[in-house]
Amino acid sequence: MLDNLLSIVAPHLCYGCGKTGTLLCQSCKYDIVNDKNEACLVCLGPARSGEICSRCDVAYEKGWFIAEREGPLKDLIDAYKFQRAKAGYAVLAELLGSSLPELTPETFIVPIPTAGDHIRQRGYDHLALIAKEFGRLRHLPVLPVVKRLTNLTQHDLSAEERELAASRAFIVEAKLDPGATYLLLDDIMTTGATLKYAAEAMRAAGAEHIFAAVIARQALD
């Protein structure tokens, strides 16, 4: 409602081409989704879409990302996270829907929990909104079972400090079903530590089939 009102006052401009009307026009959506993503989510080495390559050892079996974090996708997600462009969740969920294959009906979407201070700053939990919309599009339930133990804001940490913080960051208090599939969802993947340790926490809680999906993969240096 408020977002509709705001869009009348200040119409959305496409983050790809600047065209008036939506945050991302059909043609720019098409360009992002159809840019073939033949890379391992973890190392960005060659792998078929969704496949984790044999060199990477993680607790999740498959992993997808919409695109690398650059261009219009980067601008859109940054605006959505940091400038309160709340309408971004629907576009990002749609892009996710176009990038991921069919999932079995026994798949639960598990969003990585957002730090509480970030939710307070933004006034909304950006990833929970995307997870909910993606679940609506795919008719899959959202199961927010991963909890955050620490609320460390990661921006000022070195890579090693971030890894250590991530290894202690998550817990799953529920008992998970070994027959079900759990799709961990995160917005931006940088070092991969968040997904790695969240997946390990899920495995410790009984999950045997874990997939991962992220909106944007930060390019490696």
- How distant, in Å, are the alpha carbons of 53, 63, 130 from that of 103? 20, 13, 17
Measured from the CB atom, the residue of 23 and 207 that comes closer to Zn ion is 23
Query: For residues 13-32, which are near Zn ion according to CB under 5 A?
Result: 14, 16-17, 19, 25, 28
CB of 184 to Zn ion, least distance (A): 17
On whether the CB atoms of residues 215 and 96 are closer than 8 A, the answer is yes
Place of tokens 């945050």: 23
* Torsion (CA) 110, 116, 120, 121 in degrees, nearest 10: -90
Measured from the CB atom, the residue of 58 and 188 that comes closer to Zn ion is 58
Measured from the CB atom, the residue of 21 and 206 that comes closer to Zn ion is 21
Measured from the CB atom, the residue of 30 and 82 that comes closer to Zn ion is 30
Determine the residue type at 89: Y
State how far the Cα of 160 lies from the Cα of 84, in Å rounded to an integer.
Answer: 30
- Our finding on whether 43 is near Zn ion (CB under 5 A) is yes
- Residue from 53, 115, 171, 205 touching Zn ion (CB under 5 A): that is 53
H or E segment and range at residue 65:
strand 62-68
CB of 113 to Zn ion, least distance (A): 25
CB of 190 to Zn ion, least distance (A): 15
Measured from the CB atom, the residue of 19 and 122 that comes closer to Zn ion is 19
- Our finding on whether 58 is near Zn ion (CB under 5 A) is no
Residue span 71-110 as binding mask against Zn ion, x where in contact by CB under 5 A, dash where not = ----------------------------------------
State how far the Cα of 70 lies from the Cα of 164, in Å rounded to an integer.
Answer: 27
Strands, E assignment, 69-145: 107-111
Place of tokens 């290894």: 167
Contact positions vs Zn ion (CB under 5 A): 14, 16-17, 19, 25, 28, 40, 42-43, 45, 53, 56
